[in-house]
Amino acid sequence: MKQSFIPEDAPFSGEQRVWLGGFLAGLQSRAAITENAGALASQAAATPSLTLDILYGTQTGNAETVAMDAAEMARVNGFAPTVHSMDDVSMEQLAAMERVIVAVSTYGEGEMPDNAQLFWDELSSTSAPRLENMKFAVLALGDTGYDEFCQAGKLIDMRFEQLGAKRLASRIDCDVDYEDAANGWLTETLPLANDDSAGGITAPAPAAKAAGAEKSKWSRKNPYGSKVVENRLLSGKKSAKEIRHFSFDLGDSGLSYEAGDALGVMPVNDPALVTALLERLGEHPEAAVAGHDKPLGELLSKQFEIARPSKEIIAAVAEQSGDDELRHVYSNGDKEALEAFLWGRDTLDLLNLNPKLSLSATELLGLLKPLQHRAYSISSSPKAHDNEVHLTVAAVRWKREGREHKGVCSTFLSDMIAEGDTAGIFVSPNKSFRVPSDADAPMIMVGPGTGIAPFRAFLEERQATGAKGKNWLFFGDQHRDCDFIYEDEIAIFSKASVLNRLDLAFSRDQSEKIYVQSRMRENGKELFSWLEEGGHFYVCGDATRMAKDVEQALLDVIAAQGGLSEDGALEYLTRLKREKRYLRDVY
């Protein structure tokens, strides 16, 4: 059955034939796509290898994964694909490309991901080259929960067209649940890149591997039920925070990861919030809901996002609740005022704006989004912890109108997962956030608060590999006596000369605030000399304020110590980015 799509005489090796057969058979249930996949396979058998450039812009690794999948699909089907991180592509190279697939995510409020920013700066400038010889298609990744949904993909799509490139296919804008849509789009779009009718048959490159062969079977859709072997409080009793260390047993899952990757965790909603919502609806947890095969209580616990209100529910409540303030800020289109209004409010708070507002369970579910995983930077190196993966998570809690509110996944882990319980996890690779490939290169890490997570992993990695490069950590939080997490481990790294410099900034131990960037400025001379020695500079943590302020401090240090103008310092930073020596894991 499987092989009926592949001509007998098609020049595939056994391994390739098996994969392609499986790939096509997997598409059988979707008739439209199957037709295209069949076309793809038969075209591949009849045409020579065509170059195909696949460009990705990624913040957390998803777009890179899509790009890699696209390359495997293309390779097995006779293309000769090359995958590029966007910032590695010069405008000269871009202008020479004939067939281009772009996979790009959007970060923050409509921003380019870090590895696409330099590319975009050049592409959007007046000196960008004409792209008349290029055919292209854009796959944009985003989150409909944000206003600027897929903005980075939209901008690149528009700019390529402005520069004269021709679309192979319309752009696809994928939501967080992107896998099926992305696969279907690639299956339909790749054959359109095959415009060469020069005849001859080229076999897939010998190095071609089946797309699924190296990929973990554990994913967002199929998380591994891992046993939690440690759930330990890191912060002290007096701390304003509750930061915890979690260790997950990888059992016989075969899951693997590297220091720098993220771990996806599938949460379950807070039972108190589920009960309160059921009461508000006047429904029983066992109530059946039309169109769903699970009872209402289970749907609200495991399948729908009930903490963060969806855009749809905000619109519906703005219209129906009769709440003047919400109606006013909503209809005004004032994003900041709406954000301020929504701050700290969950779905139940919105429904409670008007106690008379009545929604049926079906109406409510129709307005909710699916419950999504949360991703956390992994805080362990697999080389230091056999078959385990660790996280460092701050439990988010706040009170509003007398009711306790909780961050969905951080408190799922803290409150609902005891040692021995299981939680659904999967690895989200972030290949661009790694220790330096040069084991002798210095490493400078800035990670206040839980931003320290990947740097614990990096230090473990460098210790385990015996890397000789020196390491410098900037860490801080509110108070030294209760917020200095991993203090013991850090002391051991220092004693073992794995950590060569440590600068601490406890913001609230004195009258004026002291932050990590204050310490960077105080130590500017040495910091600059580490950069000059080929140092790699890493930042992890809060994107909105800390990461921006740290970047400014870095620019100030470069300007002051390098005797450079503001523009000169910016150029220096651009060079660091190009050389992948300025890397951030921030959100």
What residues make contact with ligand NAP under the rule CB under 6 A?
A: 241, 377, 394, 448-451, 453, 476-478, 507-508, 513, 515-517, 540-542, 545-546, 549, 585-587
Please state, in angstroms and as integers, the Cα–Cα distance from residue 364 to each residue in 97, 144, 175, 260, 406, following that order: 49, 18, 21, 39, 21
Pick 191 or 449: Cβ nearer ligand NAP: 449
Tell the smallest beta-carbon distance from residue 539 to ligand NAP (Å): 9
Pick 350 or 457: Cβ nearer ligand NAP: 457
Tell the smallest beta-carbon distance from residue 530 to ligand NAP (Å): 20
Q: 546-562 vs 524-532: helix axis angle to the nearest 10?
A: 80
Pick 117 or 517: Cβ nearer ligand NAP: 517
Mark 483-510 as b/e (b = at least 16 C-beta within 10 Å). Answer: bbbbeeebeebbeeebbebebbbbbeee
CA angle 240, 242, 248 (to 5 degrees): 165
Closest chain position to ligand NAP (CB): 449
Q: What does the alpha-carbon distance between residue 81 and residue 56 come to, in Å, rounded to a whole number?
A: 13
Pick 101 or 395: Cβ nearer ligand NAP: 395
Pick 96 or 482: Cβ nearer ligand NAP: 482
Q: What does the alpha-carbon distance between residue 123 and residue 118 come to, in Å, rounded to a whole number?
A: 9
- Two structure tokens written together for 373: 């995983």
Tell the smallest beta-carbon distance from residue 21 to ligand NAP (Å): 40
Tell the smallest beta-carbon distance from residue 452 to ligand NAP (Å): 8
Pairing mode, strands 443-446 and 135-141: unpaired
Q: What does the alpha-carbon distance between residue 90 and residue 127 come to, in Å, rounded to a whole number?
A: 12
The answer for 61, left when phi > 0, alpha when psi is -120 to 50, beta otherwise, is: left
First to last CA, the chain: 47
Q: Which of 486, 471, 482 lies closest to 507 in space, CA to CA?
A: 482
Q: What does the alpha-carbon distance between residue 116 and residue 228 come to, in Å, rounded to a whole number?
A: 37
Tell the smallest beta-carbon distance from residue 51 to ligand NAP (Å): 35
In DSSP terms, 245 is beta-bridged to 232, 392
Q: Which of 280, 28, 314, 381 lies closest to 145 in space, CA to CA?
A: 314
Pick 221 or 545: Cβ nearer ligand NAP: 545
Question: Would you give the distance in Å from CA 459 to the centre of its chain?
Answer: 22
Pick 13 or 544: Cβ nearer ligand NAP: 544
Counting every residue written for the chain, the total comes to: 587
List all residues 6 or more positions away from 272 whose beta carbon is below 8 Å from its beta carbon.
Answer: 404
- Two structure tokens written together for 440: 């002798």
Pick 98 or 542: Cβ nearer ligand NAP: 542
What are phi and psi for residue 423, nearest 5 degrees? -135, 145
Tell the smallest beta-carbon distance from residue 513 to ligand NAP (Å): 6
What are phi and psi for residue 334, nearest 5 degrees? -85, 100
Pick 283 or 477: Cβ nearer ligand NAP: 477
Pick 463 or 478: Cβ nearer ligand NAP: 478
Tell the smallest beta-carbon distance from residue 524 to ligand NAP (Å): 16
Tell the smallest beta-carbon distance from residue 544 to ligand NAP (Å): 8
CB atoms within 10 A of CB 293: 8
Tell the smallest beta-carbon distance from residue 517 to ligand NAP (Å): 6
Rg of the Cα trace of the chain? 26
Tell the smallest beta-carbon distance from residue 159 to ligand NAP (Å): 28
Pick 115 or 507: Cβ nearer ligand NAP: 507
Residues 522 and 514: beta-carbon distance below 8 Å: no
Tell the smallest beta-carbon distance from residue 515 to ligand NAP (Å): 4
Pick 253 or 507: Cβ nearer ligand NAP: 507
Tell the smallest beta-carbon distance from residue 117 to ligand NAP (Å): 17
Q: Which residue has the tokens 């290949």?
A: 431
Tell the smallest beta-carbon distance from residue 587 to ligand NAP (Å): 4
Pick 154 or 390: Cβ nearer ligand NAP: 390
Q: What does the alpha-carbon distance between residue 487 and residue 477 come to, in Å, rounded to a whole number?
A: 12
